[in-house]
Amino acid sequence: MQRKQHVVSGEEQALRLAGLRVTPQRLAIMRYMMGSKAHPSPEMVYGHLKPDFPGLSPNTVYQTLHSLEEAGLLRRISMEDNVYRYDANVEPHAHLVCRLCGRVDDTNGALEPLLHELLSKGSATTSWDILAMDCCFYGYCNDCRERAQTLQNEEREE
Amino acid sequence: MQRKQHVVSGEEQALRLAGLRVTPQRLAIMRYMMGSKAHPSPEMVYGHLKPDFPGLSPNTVYQTLHSLEEAGLLRRISMEDNVYRYDANVEPHAHLVCRLCGRVDDTNGALEPLLHELLSKGSATTSWDILAMDCCFYGYCNDCRERAQTLQNEEREE
DNA sequence: TACTACTTAGTAATCATTACTATGTCAATA
DNA sequence: TATTGACATAGTAATGATTACTAAGTAGTA
């Protein structure tokens, strides 16, 4: 029992469900965000899409990411260097941030029970209304560990 | 057995121990930071000291906070609004951040065991070199809860 | 007391982000 | 399938926090 119908991508469906208009730019941003584990910054999104959308404006990227965040499709995270990053995984989880290259990874799932406990205990032991929790580990990723050592030694010599 | 000696404040001692020169500006910044539980931003420090130091430059505040951080006397924290805050409590602990007024409090000490566990487990379950952890709870403080409700209702009506 | 390196103040530059506005386009309706 | 009104985009300008640069000043040591 097949019926002729046009194919609706998951991204398109998600946008419509959120009450947002579907445009080529938004679809492309959604697709990139959903497919990336790099927690892209607005600049990274812009740089990635610019070749396919020569007319793309950074402004559009900022606004779109903001709309998607408001719709609950993305989560904005902030880190030590004060540049925003966006995460298509909106479930609570912690991040690993490399202080040299800026890479952002998700932490191992093994931490999740602890994070849940922390959030519930945090909410329970304060009189504030808690809406969200953010947890970041800072250090050096495997690619930067060696370079970090070298830099530290140089500093010591000065 | 009293001896004549000039009085050395704790702040002065801390600066000398860290190998930093003691200047009036630095002493004042130290004193303010050590005495505050508000996790002041550079702008707050500047605003607080400007009356006493009319010639003070924002630049000096930025540089001094940075030096004190490098010396391990302060800890720089970053939050959702991408404005730096500094904390004279360098022991690991989490923060409560109000999304309306920007107030930053320390969390209840009851969370500390969990935070330690999180840090050690986080370090153990990744191959990265972990140097630090930051944990923030976002929500509304007691003073802003009501206003937050009002704002949300207004949004819904639009 | 004199010297040297570190600090400061002041200005200019940078960077990410937001504001503003005219043009363009999606999608609901007739 | 045309029309139309609201939303989206692009482009430029503005903002705000932070950093860079430089000349003048000062702390601490010999």
Q: Is B6 exposed, middle or buried (0-12, 13-18, 19+ CB in 10 A)?
A: exposed
In the block, which residue shows the tokens 């952002």?
Answer: A104
- Strand C closer than 7 A to residue B26 Cβ: yes
Q: Tell if the CB–CB gap between A84 and B79 is shorter than 8 Å.
A: no
The strand pair at B104-106 and B95-98 is best described as: antiparallel
Q: How far is CA B101 from CA A11, A109, B79, B104, B145, in A?
A: 35, 34, 13, 9, 10
The alpha carbon of residue B143 is apart from the nearest alpha carbon of chain A, in Å, by: 9
User: Per-residue confidence at A4, pLDDT binned at 50, 70, 90?
Assistant: very low
Q: Is B72 exposed, middle or buried (0-12, 13-18, 19+ CB in 10 A)?
A: exposed
The alpha carbon of residue A38 is apart from the nearest alpha carbon of chain B, in Å, by: 16
Chain B interface residues (partner A, CB cutoff 8 A): 76, 78-84, 94, 96, 98-99, 105, 107-108, 110-111, 114-115, 117-119, 121-123, 125-142, 145, 148
Q: What's the pLDDT score for residue A3?
A: 45
In the block, which residue shows the tokens 């989560």?
Answer: A75
Mean pLDDT (whole number) for A50-61: 97
Q: CA–C1' span, A1 to D20, in Å?
A: 69
Q: How many CB pairs under 8 A join A and B?
A: 134
> Does the pLDDT at position A33 exceed 50?
yes
Q: Tell if the CB–CB gap between A142 and B127 is shorter than 8 Å.
A: yes
Q: Which residues of A touch B111 (CB under 8 A)?
A: 118, 121-122, 125
Closest in B83, B84, B125 to A110, CB measured? B125
Over chain B, what HEC string results?
A: CCCCCCCCCHHHHHHHHCCCCCCHHHHHHHHHHHHCCCCCCHHHHHHHHCCCCCCCCHHHHHHHHHHHHHCCCCEEEECCCCCEEEECCCCCCCEEEECCCCCEEECCHHHHHHHHHHHHHHHHCCCCEEEEEEEEEEEECCCCHHHHHHHHHHHHHC
Q: Tell how far CA B158 is from the center of its chain.
A: 38
Closest in A99, A121, A131 to B114, CB measured? A121
Residue A33's CB is within 10 A of a number of other CB atoms, namely: 21
- Strand C closer than 7 A to residue B78 Cβ: no
Each of the 158 residues of chain B gets a pLDDT tens digit; together they read 544 456 788 899 999 999 999 999 999 999 999 999 999 999 999 999 999 999 999 999 999 999 999 999 999 999 999 999 999 999 889 999 999 999 999 999 999 999 999 999 999 999 999 999 999 999 999 999 999 988 877 665 54
Q: CA–C1' span, B19 to C4, in Å?
A: 17
Per-residue pLDDT of A126-139, as tens digits, reads: 999 999 999 999 99
User: Per-residue confidence at A152, pLDDT binned at 50, 70, 90?
Assistant: confident
> Does the pLDDT at position A66 exceed 90?
yes
Q: Tell if the CB–CB gap between A133 and B138 is shorter than 8 Å.
A: yes
- Strand C closer than 7 A to residue A120 Cβ: no
Q: What's the pLDDT score for residue A26?
A: 98
pLDDT above 90 as % of chain A: 84
Q: Which domains does chain A have, with CATH numbers?
A: 1-90 (1.10.10.10), 92-158 (3.30.1490.190)
Answer whether B20's CB lies under 8 Å from B8's CB.
Answer: no
Give the residue on B whose Cα is nearest the Cα of A141: B128
